Amino acid sequence: MSKNELTRIKKEARDQIIQVKNIKELDELKIKYLGKKGILTQLLRGLKDVAQEERAQVGKTLNEMKEEIGSLVKDKEAKIQEVAIGAKLKEESIDITLPGKPLGLGKLHIITQVMEEIKDIFIKMGFAVAEGPEVETDYYNFEALNMEQEHPARDMWSTLYIDSKNNTLLRTHTSPVQIRVMEKESPPVRIIVPGKVYRHDLDISHAPMFHQVEGLWVDKEVTFSDLKGTLSIFLKQIFASDVGIRFRPSFFPFTEPSAEVDISCVICKGKGCRVCKGTGWIEILGAGMVNPRVLKNVGYNPEEVIGYAFGMGVERIAMLKCGIDDIRLFFENDLRFLKQF
Ligand code: DAH
């Protein structure tokens, strides 16, 4: 066990430890030099064969070597761990300068928006909001509105019936809510009724489900001029302050007299185009003075109270306001369409 030999072993151990790249290799070296059967352990065991006079010196050298190699291994272990932690931190670090993922913010459907706008205008004029069921009985949808069985005016609505006896149906208009409210409340009644209605129809201007807003005012003194004034204010606010408005005589069983209300065409400003079929006018709602028979049906005395009513389609108003030419677009749920409004 020459001095040179020991120096060589020490140098070799140091070189190997320095070059090691990971814990596994380091552990192997640790075992190779310091393990139970390791080089140094064996050298120490061989001490007994060393000449007496040299033993103390060699023993001291071997112990120093053992300590030195041990501390080299320890240092290396710390270094490898440090590098590993650094790499992990780097790998997991978040680049806070990257742009965030955009949040897909939703918004109200255009029909809901227009509905809210219509409601706001009437609420400011003193109307309360009332609602009623979408599955109705024949009585409320037709009979109480002055359309008994077999009344030809029932043909104005392509009705979807629910039972085979034709007693229950999907309401074809919001007018039945007039009856429901008047049955419960005594005059004065001043309401609007927003809601869904259903008809057996489907083309570019008709959908099987659409929305209406009904209006009703019953009081001691209500005149046709009140109706005209209220609807004119409404139409000027929802379309434009310079929109033209005209009332045409018409027929509805639940009003007498009845009228259809037109606005000047919002596309061509009254000159005549495809949308208004060259007339310059567009029909926008139905209205009239509540038929005394309807008042009687709810137990009101037509000698004492009088009223007006009106009804409009929300999709139609939205289409004219936004220049939409196919009603089906509202219900296809195509976000490219809906996001525009
Ligand atoms: N209910 C009618 C319809 O759906 C619209 C209507 C017309 C309602 C005249 C009214 C009215 O209240 O007075 O076609």
What are 242-295's pLDDT values in tens digits?
999 999 999 999 999 999 999 999 888 889 888 889 999 999 999 999 999 999
Asked whether the beta carbons of 188 and 219 are under 8 A apart, the reply is yes
In angstroms, the CA 100 to CA 324 distance is: 35
Residue 291 lies in a domain: yes
Of 63, 91, 119, the residue at which a domain comes to its end is 91
In angstroms, the CA 153 to CA 164 distance is: 21
* Domain containing residue 261: 110-338
Of 64, 91, 118, the residue at which a domain comes to its end is 91
For residue 146, the CA-to-ligand 1 centroid distance in Å is 13
Residue 240 lies in a domain: yes
Q: Which atom of ligand 1 is nearest to the CA of 172?
A: 4
* Whether residues 189 and 44 fall in one domain: no
- Helices 314-322 and 110-124 pack at an angle, to 10 degrees, of 110
* Whether residues 160 and 292 fall in one domain: yes
Instruction: Report the pLDDT value the prediction gives residue 228, as an integer from 0 to 100.
Output: 98
202 by Cβ neighbours in 10 Å (0-12 / 13-18 / 19+) ranks as exposed
Region of 297 (left: φ > 0; alpha: ψ -120 to 50; beta: rest) is alpha
* Whether residues 255 and 143 fall in one domain: yes
For residue 311, the CA-to-ligand 1 centroid distance in Å is 4
Instruction: Report the pLDDT value the prediction gives residue 171, as an integer from 0 to 100.
Output: 98
* Whether residues 85 and 119 fall in one domain: no
Instruction: Report the pLDDT value the prediction gives residue 172, as an integer from 0 to 100.
Output: 97
Q: Dihedral of CA 106/108/111/112: which sign?
A: positive
Domain count, the chain: 2
Residue 179 lies in a domain: yes
Residues of the chain whose pLDDT is less than 70?
A: 1
- Ligand 1: which of 201, 206, 254 to mutate, judged by most atoms within 8 Å of the beta carbon? 254
Q: At 19, list the tokens.
A: 């070059």
Residue 105 lies in a domain: no
For residue 289, the CA-to-ligand 1 centroid distance in Å is 11
Q: Which atom of ligand 1 is nearest to the CA of 156?
A: 14
Residue 306: which H helix or E strand, with range?
A: strand 306-313
* Whether residues 168 and 249 fall in one domain: yes
* Whether residues 19 and 142 fall in one domain: no
Instruction: Report the pLDDT value the prediction gives residue 308, as an integer from 0 to 100.
Output: 98
CA-based angle 60:31:46, to the nearest 5?
Answer: 40
Residue 98 lies in a domain: no
In angstroms, the CA 248 to CA 260 distance is: 5
* Whether residues 141 and 87 fall in one domain: no
* Whether residues 74 and 146 fall in one domain: no
Supply the CATH number for residue 121's domain. 3.30.930.10
* Whether residues 115 and 237 fall in one domain: yes
Residue 246 lies in a domain: yes
Instruction: Report the pLDDT value the prediction gives residue 64, as an integer from 0 to 100.
Output: 86
Instruction: Report the pLDDT value the prediction gives residue 43, as an integer from 0 to 100.
Output: 84
Select from 99, 43, 41 the least CA-distant residue to 70: 41
- Helices 23-34 and 52-92 pack at an angle, to 10 degrees, of 170
* Whether residues 168 and 250 fall in one domain: yes
Select from 43, 38, 107, 103 the least CA-distant residue to 73: 38
* Whether residues 139 and 59 fall in one domain: no
pTM comes to 0.72
Of 27, 60, 91, the residue at which a domain comes to its end is 91
* Whether residues 193 and 289 fall in one domain: yes
Residue 162 lies in a domain: yes
